[in-house]
Structure 1
C-alpha cells in the first residue's frame, strides 16, 4: 500500500494511546520517514495535548473522535515529509521554545554554533553584564537575537528581515521569552538604512546556491521559505553585501556569520578584503557538532 494511502486510512478513534502511536509509527515508516517511532510519539503528545509522563501513566487511554482525527491529520502531513516542528508550530533552540510558521526558516541545531561563538566572544570581551547592542540580520524567528538577549541580560538588539510575516513571529517570540522590551525589529535586507552602531552582529543569511536548492532534502526545499535559502549563484550574495557595510555598522566589535558547507574560507577572505585595514583583522572559525566549519567571525576595529 502506498504510504499516503496508508496514512489516509488510519482509523484511530477508540484506539488506545499505545496502539495509536504504534499505528502512526508504522504509517511513517511506510512513508520512508527516518525516526518514525520518535516522530509518532511527538505527534501523539501534540494531538492529544498531553505530557510525556501521561504516556507512561495511562497508555491504554482511548482516543476520542476529535483526537483521532487530529492525530491522523498530523500523520498525513508527516507522511508527506512535512517536518514535525512545522506540524506542531514550534522548534526548540538553545534550551528555549520558538514559534515557527511557513514565513520563517526552521532554526536547526547547527545554528546554535553561532550562539556558542557569540557567547564565547562575549566572555572574552567582558560583555556578559555590559549594555551592548546586537544586530541580527535575517532574524526570521528571532532565534539568534532573542537567545543572545536572554543570555546577555544587559544587552539590547535589533533584528531585521525582508519578511513582515517573519518579523511578526519574531516579535511574538520576543514576548514569549520576556525580552520584548530590549528588542526592536525592522524590515531590511542588508545594512542599508540601519541607524546607529553595534558591538555585535550575528547573521544566518541565505547561503544555498540557487541551482542547488532543488536537490535539497524535501523537508527543506518544500517547507523553508525560498528567500531564506537562496544565496544567489554561488551562495555568497548576502555576505558580499554585509561585508561592504560592516565597518560602519560595527566599527569596533565582532560580526559572526553562519556559513554553508565549504564556504568558510571564501567568507573569511571576503571579510579580510572588506576590512581595508593596514593589519589583517582577526578571524575565527567554529565547527558545529558534525565537525563542519559552520561559523566565521571577524573582529572589526576603527
Structure 2
C-alpha cells in the first residue's frame, strides 16, 4: 500500500491510498486518519479493499501533509553511513547513536525550511524514514521488520552551530520547527521490498550534492529497531530517521550551508520526492 494525507498543517486531514494508476482514493470512510491509535489496525482495515470503488480525491492545489499524523516520538540515528562518518572525520560507531527531534519539527514534505535569527550553519540531510506499526519492546533482529508499518522520505534538517558549538547536545541542533519534513508517501514493506538497497539523493538549487545508497548503512533497519527496543518501547506511528549519506554541507570543502531563498530537493528510491524553500523568520 501507498498511504498519503492532504490538508492544512493545523486543520483536518484526508487520508488516501494510491491505486494502481497512482490516483488518490479517499479512505476516510474506512479509517478517519492514519494516527498512532489507528495504525495497528490499518493493514487489516485496508488490505483487500477495492480501491476502484472508493471516491477519487482531488489533489490539485492541496497541501501534502505528512503521511501519518503527529508521532508520539521522533528518533534519529547519527553517523549511520560509513561514507558519511568518513567525510565527518569521525570514527565509525560501534553501536547506533540515538537522539530525539522535538515534535514541532514534524511537517509536510514541501513545507518551508525556517531560518531564524542566530542560525548560521543550516544543513541538509536526506534520510530513509521508518514508521513503526505496533508496540516493539525487546524484539529480535529476525522479527524486527514485522513491527514496521512502512517507509518514507525524511529530511533531518540540522543547525550545525547549535548542534556542535552550543554544548554538544545534538537535540538542540535538530529540533527547530519544520526540521523534519516527512513524506510525501508512506510505502508498506511488502510493496517497497528491501529497505537496504535504496538510492537516496539531495539537490541544492539544482546541484546534486548527496547521492548515496542505504547499502552503506552501518546499522540496517532491522538492527536499529532491535537495538532501540532493548532500551525503549517503540510505539505505533513512531518515526525513526535512519541516517544520511555523504554530501551534507558540513562535509563539503569548504563547508557550505543553506541561506534564505535556497531550494532543496531530495528523494529516496520508490518513496517519492520532497522540495522545500528556505524562508527567513522575521525577528525570530
Flag whether TM exceeds 0.5 (same fold). no
Higher Cα Rg, which structure:
1
TM-score if structure 1 supplies the norm length?
0.23
The structure with higher relative contact order (CA 8 Å, sep 6+) is 2
Q: Which is richer in strand?
A: 2
More helix by share: 1
